[in-house]
Structure 1
Amino acid sequence: MRICLVFDCLYPHTVGGAERWYRNLAESLAHRGHTVTYLTLLQWDRATGAGVPNMDVVAVAGRAELYAHGRRSIGAQIRFAFGVWRHLLAHGGRYDVVQTPALHVSLLAVLAARPIRRFALVVDWFEVWTREYWLGYLGGVAGRLGWWGQRISARAKHHALCFSRRHARRLEQIGYRGQITLLEGLLPPGKEAAERMPAELTVVFAGRLIPEKQATALVPAVALARQRVPELRATIFGDGPERDALLRLIDESGLDGAVQAPGFVAATVVVDAPDNAAVELVEDGVNGFVARSAEPKELGEAILRVHAAGPALRESTADWFRRNRERLSLETSVERVLAVYGRR
């Protein structure tokens, strides 16, 4: 098949969960013999190229700052969307399938080009935002436009991929009427449960430092937990528009180096807040605990529950991973995507 992936980010030039999914998906499809084109923003030196083998990476718009004032830049999204629309008008007829994430202006560009080029459309619904969240994220006029754009996208004809049951339900609530394919894991091939290592009194956060990830909530939560476990430390891995605010908060916390924020690394969630879809992977008391909110007291108490559970929780987490490894694998998710392509 001839497949076009549309996303304004490209791993490793930008780093995040969606970036890793699209890069891994592209490589897996190419490895299976499919022809893959990846439309994105320019994020590399033109002299050296994107550095991505086995696929055609096309920059449909020039460099742009992805974030402005801690939020996704509307200007950058519009420029990218216009480039996507122009490309698909000119070349869309060569693709069997176009796949792109929701909540991006570029999805509307893809929808505008489809009646002319008639490719099948697959949309990754990583999240479905509520009206209140749109208004809080973008403000009055822009927030309402975002909310209506999401509703229009949901009701347009396409194949929907969701990464949690929570957002699948929300997608149906705003008007999607097709079959939803659930993708539960992105675990790369060859990942095995790690050998047990000595426990360290360290809380780990890994994720993009944007307001909705609430990394800053960890600092006061750790401060409260340290009142009962003084040896407790925290390491916050990630980067993003909230990094400066996080570093200021750490400096002002008076924790004397107990909280560090060195950069990016992969990790597994063991404590999460209930509005995050990742809680579907947490079996309370088996492979982690769910904090009732991101308030310092609630989050601090959840951290202390992990500490109190000790080696038994670590062992049950490793056992849970072994039992669920196939369900959560990248291979399983890619096979489900290929089945969706086959329904076009």
Structure 2
Amino acid sequence: MRIAVAFDCFYPLSTGGGERQYRLFAEAFVDQGWQVDYLTRRQWTGPAPEVAGVQVVAVSGATRLYDEHGTRRPAASLVFAFGLFRHLVRHRRSYDAVLVSALPTLNVLAARAALVGTRTAFCSDFLEVWRPAQWREYSGPVVGRVASALQRLAVRVSPWVSAHSAMNTERLRAEGARREPVRSPGLIHGTDHIAFVPVPADPPTVVFAGRHIPDKRVEAIPAAIQFARQRVPSLRAVLLGDGPSRDSVRTAVHALGLDDVVELPGFVSQAELEATVGTAAVLVNPSRREGYGLVVVEACAAGTPVVLVRAEDNASTELVEDGVNGYVAASTDAAELGAALVRAVEGGAALRRSARDWFEQAARTRTAEAAARAILTALAGDGAHGRHEDEG
């Protein structure tokens, strides 16, 4: 059986939760005995990346995905959607099933149009499902309304849709999903090598890891650090990553006199990232928008508790149990967020052991393989396993 996975980024040539998720799905499909094509944009020079059992196929050329504000460029989305459409038209009877990332939703519409008249099983995977107000805020009043309408259309034309949180599953239902959405049990994979660190580094360090964009609200962290240092004077912070909000973050650090307390090293290697997160006293992510929150899982694998911020569009808070693997602050207010950081730091070895125990339980039930199997089960229900036999 042959399946295509379509997403315009490929891990590790670009890094992020979505990139890792679809790479993991492709590898999990191989483990289930499927031939897999990973359809993406060209991010490499020379031969395509080699992945055991996976053929990585560039369906569009190299494009710049984001503008200077960290917003996805519509032109880049159009280029990839057209390339995906063209590839699937040429190979419209080659695939038993297609899994398309709905980021952006143009991918779904292009793929569905290309496969009209075939018996190819089809699932649209939603990393996030946005409210209309989110779209307008992100893309402006005109483009935002169009994008919101396209999202709704993408949900309704998809035979199957899948998501990875209760929040996004409910939103798919509200958008008019034709069938009950496939909600995966989780996305844990490849964390076996992360060792439990029972005692963090001294002095205690707060770590942020991710892009510095408005939705992540990284600039709120320095004031929270200043508040927390009233209780934990030796507390330091390392804010990993880069992006359009970096200058605002640096300005906040300097204005509070924390230049010797808060480090801004930019992006680092995966090995350095894991070492920094693993030895931290707490990982903080004040993001207002997360579709799942893979970084929570990876931090807890090392025993590092996490502090998140409750927000209407933040599904990652579903992963945190207060006092078990971290805390959820009510807001990014310096006192609220700072107090949560203090609780996590003072939780000490007991909270770290508890966070690791949470991870070990989740690792048995919330695997990427289980998510892939759930999607394949839905697709098989549409006859994916018997298509070639019927046509033969």
Q: What range describes the TM-score normalised by the shorter chain of this pair? A: over 0.9
- The answer to whether the aligner puts 1:198 opposite 2:199 as a matched pair is yes
- Matched residue type, 1:37: D
Deviations 1:57-101 (A, max 9, x none): 121111111101210111101111111111111112111111112
CA distance in 2, matches of 1:40, 1:308: 45
CA distance in 1, matches of 2:167, 2:316: 10
CA distance in 2, matches of 1:240, 1:327: 34
Check the 8 A contact 1:236/1:261 in 2, yes or no. Answer: yes
- Alpha-carbon distance, 1:220 to partner: 2.1
Deviations 1:19-49 (A, max 9, x none): 001111112222333111111111001x243
Check the 8 A contact 2:102/2:125 in 1, yes or no. Answer: yes
Identify which of 231, 239, 250 aligns with 1:228.
231
CA distance in 2, matches of 1:315, 1:257: 31
CA distance in 1, matches of 2:88, 2:350: 54
Deviations 1:205-247 (A, max 9, x none): 2233332222232222212222332211112233444445434
CA distance in 2, matches of 1:135, 1:89: 33
**Between the two proteins, what is the percent identity of the paired residues?**
40
- The answer to whether the aligner puts 1:272 opposite 2:275 as a matched pair is no
CA distance in 2, matches of 1:167, 1:135: 18
Identify which of 284, 291, 296 aligns with 2:322.
284
Change (3 A) 1:13 1:192: closer
- For residues 108-257 of structure 1, the aligned pairs below 5 Å read 108-189=109-190, 191=192, 194-200=195-201, 201-257=204-260
- Structure 2 match to 1:297: 335
- Alpha-carbon distance, 1:248 to partner: 4.7
Q: TM-score, normalised by structure 2?
A: 0.81
Check the 8 A contact 1:103/1:150 in 2, yes or no. Answer: no
- Alpha-carbon distance, 1:189 to partner: 4.9
Structure 2 residue runs of 5 or longer lacking an equivalent are: 275-297, 300-304, 383-392
Check the 8 A contact 1:10/1:40 in 2, yes or no. Answer: yes
- Matched residue type, 1:308: E
Quick check: 205-214 or 301-310, which moved more?
205-214
Change (3 A) 1:261 1:116: farther
CA distance in 1, matches of 2:243, 2:120: 35
CA distance in 2, matches of 1:239, 1:41: 23
Check the 8 A contact 1:89/1:116 in 2, yes or no. Answer: no
- Matched residue type, 1:24: L
Structure 1 residue runs of 5 or longer lacking an equivalent are: none
Q: TM-score, normalised by structure 1?
A: 0.92
* RMSD over equivalenced CA pairs, Å: 2.1
- The answer to whether the aligner puts 1:323 opposite 2:361 as a matched pair is yes
CA distance in 2, matches of 1:113, 1:53: 28
- Structure 1 match to 2:13: 13
- Alpha-carbon distance, 1:195 to partner: 3.3
Quick check: 86-95 or 261-270, which moved more?
261-270
Q: Which runs of 4+ in 1 moved over 6 A?
A: none
- For residues 75-114 of structure 1, the aligned pairs below 5 Å read 75-104=75-104, 105-114=106-115
Deviations 1:152-211 (A, max 9, x none): 112223212111001111111122241222223222256277334323311122233332
Quick check: 101-110 or 264-273, which moved more?
264-273
Structure with higher RCO (Cα < 8 A, 6+ apart): 2
Check the 8 A contact 1:193/1:321 in 2, yes or no. Answer: no
Q: How many residues align structurally?
A: 343
- The answer to whether the aligner puts 1:310 opposite 2:310 as a matched pair is no
CA distance in 1, matches of 2:214, 2:185: 24
